[in-house]
Homo-oligomer: A and B are copies of this chain.
Amino acid sequence: MTQAKTGRGKNIKPVRDAEATQAVILAAAEEEFAQHGFTATRTEAIADKTKVAKSMIYYYFKDKEGLYRAVLTRSHADLLETIQKLELEQLSPEVALENFLRALLNCVSRNPRLPTIMFHEAVQNQGKYYKESSSVNIDTILIAILERGLTAGVFRSLDPFQAAINIMGACLFYFIGAGNIKQFPQGKRLLSKAMLEQHAQEAIALILAGVRSS
């Protein structure tokens, strides 16, 4: 997609690649929306980051809201596909749960902006756009796994709905709190590869131990 720039006489500027430009805008928008949410994000901040003109946003995405929708759907679709590919219904509840968690954590580790995007959407917009962008959601999938494990007797007695939320929290809060947490004295780099892997391990261990029966 990103073919060679059509740089003739002048040294850098003229790019002229519709797809590339859109991709660049989307990437920058994702960062900005992830940090600030819809309202507080400035279109100019996105433009500055991309080094394309602000008006390109309106050319490709109509307005700020259109761009927001685009970011939201893309992020969410990415996560949802990954999870659905696992075909968790085929597996035993314990294995299904572990695979689910591993995939989820892997996905958000690759794109740590995802949790904060969803968070902003949930809090600021009360899930308005979120709802539009998908019929199925991942919580439902997790609930189903927990229910199967309950009836099979491999999980301890718990409320699937409540447990699903708390499990998601144990996985995702890390990314949401990252900004705050890095202010701590020890000043660890939470999004380094090593720390992300450790987080995945720790979260999975906590959850599996937390739901197992006996």
A36, B124: Cβ atoms under 8 Å? yes
Per assembly, the copies of the chain total 2
Interface of A is mostly: helix
A36-B127 Cα distance, complex, nearest whole Å: 13
- Measured between alpha carbons, how far is A168 from B37 in the docked complex, in Å? 23
For chain A residues 37-68, which have a beta carbon within 8 Å of chain B? 37-40
Chain A contact patch, size range: 35 or more
The listed residue with most B CB atoms (<10 A of its CB), out of A37, A161, A168, A170, is A170
A165 is an interface residue with CB less than 8 A from chain B: yes
Residue A28 at the B interface, CB < 8 A?
Answer: no
Question: Which residue of B38, B169, B186 contacts A169 across the interface (Cβ within 8 Å)?
Answer: B169
- Is A120 in contact with chain B by the CB < 8 A criterion? yes
Of B124, B166, B202, which contacts A37 at CB under 8 A? B124
Question: Are B35 and A180 neighbours in the complex by a CB distance under 8 Å?
Answer: no
Question: Do B198 and A162 touch (CB < 8 A)?
Answer: yes
Interface stretch, picked from A7-15, A87-95, A206-214, is: A206-214
Complex CA distance for A137 and B123, rounded to whole angstroms: 23
Tell me which residues across on chain B come within 8 A of A5, comparing CB atoms: none
| Bound-complex Cα distance A18 to B172 (A) | 42
A177 CB-CB contact with B under 8 Å: yes
- Min distance, Cβ A72 to any Cβ of chain B, angstroms: 12
User: Which of A's residues lie within 8 Å of B, judged by CB?
Assistant: 34-40, 116, 118-127, 130-131, 137, 139-140, 156, 158-159, 161-163, 165-174, 176-184, 186, 188, 198-199, 202-203, 205-207, 209-212
- A selection of 13 A-B contacts at a CB cut-off of 8 Å is A116-B123, A118-B180, A119-B123, A119-B177, A122-B176, A127-B182, A130-B183, A162-B174, A166-B173, A168-B173, A168-B177, A169-B176, A170-B173
